[in-house]
Structure 1
């Protein structure tokens, strides 16, 4: 199961970094060099991806992939909201830790009313949770 946790963590990080790269319009490292709080959230995202992978693999051993879907959906939507700051709608980038959290809440609220963004993130979370449940089921047999 440890290799499955590592593979799932790498997939989660790759998908999360892809979302960050897309929402920042390919300028993540440029803005992160000006606003170091972005690196703090990136480290937090890596730690959270590891914890999420460990939890979901253990949870899927009990045949409940619906919880995993919700966890991945929240993780990816949170990454979208956190790193949209300063790149969307022409607003300025947040300087502090709490300002960035507040602005990410606003972005998540705004993005939740669109149709495409929750659909794409939901599909990504569903595919990951479903494929992970199949992998866990195959390991148990």
Structure 2
């Protein structure tokens, strides 16, 4: 029965990531994936990072809540900044892997200057953490 909860927790992280990507790309997520190969590569990388994040959250004791929430914040903020490429301030979408990584760093610094995106990412990370812990600890075996 625990394996089904494990899958549900990974599914929550993956669906949260897809929702953040769709918000960042202004609902052009499928179009971007079909036209830019670098988006597919980073999607796979973030899916794997989400898998590792979920494992870390589920295996961490409750004493380290702030560490898990900050890891979730970094994950969702990074996903938002990576996939807002081409939809932020009228910039063109980057075509290469390294160019997308450079734009990601620049976009992250630009987003940190505004309080809205980090606060929403922090709120989303806290809700994500609470959902995973409730599912993992309080549902029956």
Give me the TM-score of the superposition, normalised by structure 2: 0.88
Q: How far apart, in 1, do the equivalents of 2:74 and 2:53 lie?
A: 11
The Cα shift of 1:57 comes to 0.4
Q: How far apart, in 2, do the equivalents of 1:4 and 1:120 lie?
A: 26
Q: How far apart, in 2, do the equivalents of 1:136 and 1:14 lie?
A: 17
Q: Residues 45-124 of structure 1 correspond to what in structure 2 (within 5 A)? A: 45-60=46-61, 63-124=63-124
* 8 Å Cα contact 1:65/1:130 also seen in 2: no
The Cα shift of 1:133 comes to 3.1
* 8 Å Cα contact 2:9/2:135 also seen in 1: no
The Cα shift of 1:54 comes to 1.1
The Cα shift of 1:139 comes to 6.2
Alignment partner, residue 26 of structure 1: 27
Alignment gaps of 5+ in structure 1: none
* 8 Å Cα contact 1:87/1:93 also seen in 2: yes
Alignment partner, residue 13 of structure 2: 12
The Cα shift of 1:127 comes to 1.6
Alignment gaps of 5+ in structure 2: none
Aligned residues: 140
